[in-house]
């Protein structure tokens, strides 16, 4: 602290001396230029609602915990986000805000949660006269957990020379309950998605003061964040708020029509003690937030349940998968991809919960729970013998292809009808994983979310080895060039009739054209007919 203070005083003295010398040299010459203004404080930025003071490092700046909407509490619970109130003086922006309310079983140790959680974080390169392109990152977590504070974006900001904004949004029941008593027909649910739109409007109105270009915004996200990006590509309220999109491992087909969501929401309210149709809305809004940690479950993939956005509403009137397939999504460049072994993460988490592996006898049941009447056909195409008799690996391969890879393949074909699209598969099967995932009786490989460690400084796992560090640099360069220019570089061809994708792997990524065949997408397409 003393060193920084001395530096500021020295700068002030130098500026004062320069001004004095300039004045002496100028004398009474009326044509002489005025003295230069003193340097501005790079840690201080003005927003529409007040000034914020962040953290300045040699290669980046961070402004954390900035409110972009009013606290969604009391009468604002289950309402569209309201404008953030202004504040006097300078707001401390050196720490991320609390996580949005989520299931206590999913909380990280030491992480504060609150219903007052609608904040965002802005990561920038060092100040410059030029305006930088902007990436708005929407976190994953099945719409029931996670937060913006997990994603340390300094690599993207410093190496990639872009501004990165990471966003909190309402989760679980507080973000997506679609009870018909909460608003007019079609205006319930999707509060979390509306929060994301409010954050995008905040970026449009404020990001120039942080050195960002409001006309050069790319929306990006992984898992539930990727699903959110799909929604914004077809949502009326998101139109014009971005110029490109990045979808990482987003199972965008997992959307629920409003009538089904309303039925699930009525059941949820009844279980919470709010059943009288005359008072249910007031009853729900009067409940302590702690009583609303449990999500409202809309979808289930095997043992994994999801909350999330609802179609047929004012915010999301259409099914994004259908709009994308028909070429009616926003006409913007898209970067989209999945990981080679997506579902091993979920199987691993279930194994750690039960402390016992799946058995051969359970395989048909797992497939039936996940794929219903198609279970027998899936079992034929994913026989245990092909996976060394391993139920976790066979089951993971089937769900990875059917739920992640092949829907992404269909979306890629749809996006190619409207604009440039760049596709990838993350294929580092030795990607660093948390300790618990390294002690399983089966390998997790390139599992769901493990590519994030190559873009963000995320702890909790072994560091990248030298080859992985090179891949990380290549991915950061590609992602940020896409944010800047709408394409990820000369080595990454656009998806075309040959269905070219880049297989991202340490030791040298390569272009592949057999993705749909290797993931058995013709088989999965046949099941949809």
Catalytic residues: 223, 342, 448
Rounded Cα–Cα distance for residues 275 and 238 (Å) = 34
Q: How many CA atoms, within 13 angstroms, populate the side-chain half-sphere of residue 346? A: 23
Rounded Cα–Cα distance for residues 484 and 138 (Å) = 18
Residue 473 neighbours by CB under 8 Å, 6+ apart = 159
| Sheet strands (E) in 409-467 | 421-426
Q: What tokens were used for 166?
A: 């990471």
Q: Which long-range contacts (CB under 8 A, 24 or more apart) does 360-366 make?
A: 360/384, 360/389, 360/391, 362/391, 363/391, 363/394, 363/395, 366/302, 366/391, 366/395
Rounded Cα–Cα distance for residues 392 and 119 (Å) = 39
Q: What tokens were used for 58?
A: 């040699």
Of 484, 485, 502, 483, whose CA–CA distance to 493 is shortest? 502
Rounded Cα–Cα distance for residues 4 and 43 (Å) = 12
Chain-centroid distance, C-alpha 489: 23
Chain-centroid distance, C-alpha 476: 16
Q: Are strands 44-47 and 132-138 parallel, antiparallel or unpaired?
A: unpaired
Rounded Cα–Cα distance for residues 479 and 488 (Å) = 6
Chain-centroid distance, C-alpha 329: 19
């Amino acid at each position: 602290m003393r060193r920084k203070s001395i530096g500021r005083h020295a700068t002030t003295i130098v500026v004062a001396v320069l001004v004095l010398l300039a004045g002496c040299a100028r004398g009474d010459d009326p044509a002489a230029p005025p003295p230069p203004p003193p340097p501005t404080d790079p840690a201080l930025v003005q927003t529409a609602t007040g000034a914020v003071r962040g953290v300045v490092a040699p290669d980046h700046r961070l402004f954390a915990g900035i409110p972009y909407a009013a606290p969604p509490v009391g009468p604002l619970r289950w309402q569209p986000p309201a404008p953030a109130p202004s504040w006097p003086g300078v707001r401390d922006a050196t720490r991320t805000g609390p996580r949005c309310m989520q299931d206590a079983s999913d909380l990280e140790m030491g992480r504060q949660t609150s219903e007052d959680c609608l904040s965002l974080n802005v990561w920038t390169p060092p100040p410059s006269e030029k305006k930088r392109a902007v990436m708005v990152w929407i976190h994953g977590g099945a719409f029931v957990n996670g937060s913006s504070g997990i994603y340390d974006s300094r690599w993207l900001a410093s190496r990639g020379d872009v501004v990165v904004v990471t966003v909190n949004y309402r989760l679980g029941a507080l973000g997506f309950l679609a009870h018909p008593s909460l608003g007019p027909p079609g205006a319930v649910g999707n509060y979390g998605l509306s929060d994301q739109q409010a954050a995008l409007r905040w970026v449009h109105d404020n990001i120039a003061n942080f050195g960002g270009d409001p006309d050069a915004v790319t929306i990006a996200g992984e898992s539930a964040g990727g699903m959110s990006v799909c929604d914004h590509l077809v949502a009326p309220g998101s139109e014009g708020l971005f110029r490109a999109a990045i979808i990482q491992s987003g199972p965008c087909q997992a959307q629920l029509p409003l009538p089904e969501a309303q039925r699930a929401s009525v059941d949820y309210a009844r279980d919470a003690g709010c059943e009288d149709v005359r008072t249910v809305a007031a009853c729900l809004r009067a409940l302590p937030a702690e009583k609303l940690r449990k999500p409202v479950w809309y979808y289930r993939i095997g043992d994994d349940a999801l909350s999330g956005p609802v179609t047929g509403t004012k915010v999301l009137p259409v099914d994004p998968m259908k709009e994308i397939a028909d070429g009616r999504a926003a006409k913007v460049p898209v970067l989209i991809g999945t990981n080679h072994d997506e579902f091993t993460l979920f199987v691993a988490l279930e194994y750690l919960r039960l402390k016992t592996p799946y058995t051969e006898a359970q395989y048909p049941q797992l497939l039936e729970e996940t794929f219903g009447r198609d279970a027998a056909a899936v079992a034929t195409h994913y026989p245990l013998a092909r996976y060394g008799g391993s139920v976790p690996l066979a089951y993971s391969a089937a769900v990875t292809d059917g739920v992640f890879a092949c829907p992404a393949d269909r979306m890629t074909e749809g996006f190619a009808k409207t604009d440039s699209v760049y596709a990838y598969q993350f294929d580092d099967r030795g990607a660093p994983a948390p300790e618990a995932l390294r002690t399983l009786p089966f390998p997790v490989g390139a599992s769901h979310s493990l590519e994030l460690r190559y873009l963000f400084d995320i702890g909790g796992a072994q560091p990248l080895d030298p080859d992985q560090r090179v891949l990380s640099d290549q991915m950061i360069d590609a992602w940020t060039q896409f944010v800047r220019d709408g394409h990820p570089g000369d080595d990454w061809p656009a998806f075309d009739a040959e269905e070219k994708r880049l297989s991202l792997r340490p030791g040298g990524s390569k272009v592949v054209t057999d993705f749909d065949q290797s993931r058995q997408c013709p088989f999965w397409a046949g099941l949809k007919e």
